[in-house]
Amino acid sequence: MAKNKQTNPQSSTARIETILGFAFIACVGLTVLAVLVILLAAFTNGSWVPVGLGLVPMLAMPLGFLFLIALLVTSSKRRKAEKIQSPTK
């Protein structure tokens, strides 16, 4: 069977929004997980913590924030385009 190829630009916008949303959730989840591991290691003398684990929250949280800003911008552009495209009642 052949795949349906959609030329609708809204489908690509929805795909970008989905990717940005999941990337934001992944970054925040990774940050929370890393912080929990660091706290657990601090309470158990910390001899087993990988060296670079402290950098994960410092890099993932700002990256997640950038993903969130990009998601808000693309979502507002899509809504503005839908508002202009649809006739007012």
What pLDDT, on a 0 to 100 scale, did the predictor assign at position 2? Answer: 55
Residue 16 has pLDDT above 60, yes or no: yes
Phi, psi dihedrals of residue 45, rounded to the nearest 5°: 70, -5
With bands split at pLDDT 50, 70 and 90, how would you rate the model's confidence at 44?
confident
Q: What are 13's two structure tokens?
A: 């916008």
pTM: 0.77
The one-letter code for the residue type at 83 is K
Residue 55 has pLDDT above 60, yes or no: yes
What pLDDT, on a 0 to 100 scale, did the predictor assign at position 13? Answer: 81
What's the mean per-residue pLDDT of the chain? 86
20 contact partners, CB below 8 Å, separation of at least 6 = 67, 68, 70, 71, 74
Half-sphere CA count of 75, side-chain side, radius 13 A: 11
With bands split at pLDDT 50, 70 and 90, how would you rate the model's confidence at 57?
very high
Whole-number Å distance between alpha carbons of 11 and 16:
9
What pLDDT, on a 0 to 100 scale, did the predictor assign at position 59? Answer: 95
- Asked if 55 and 31 count as a contact pair (C-beta separation under 8 A), the reply is no
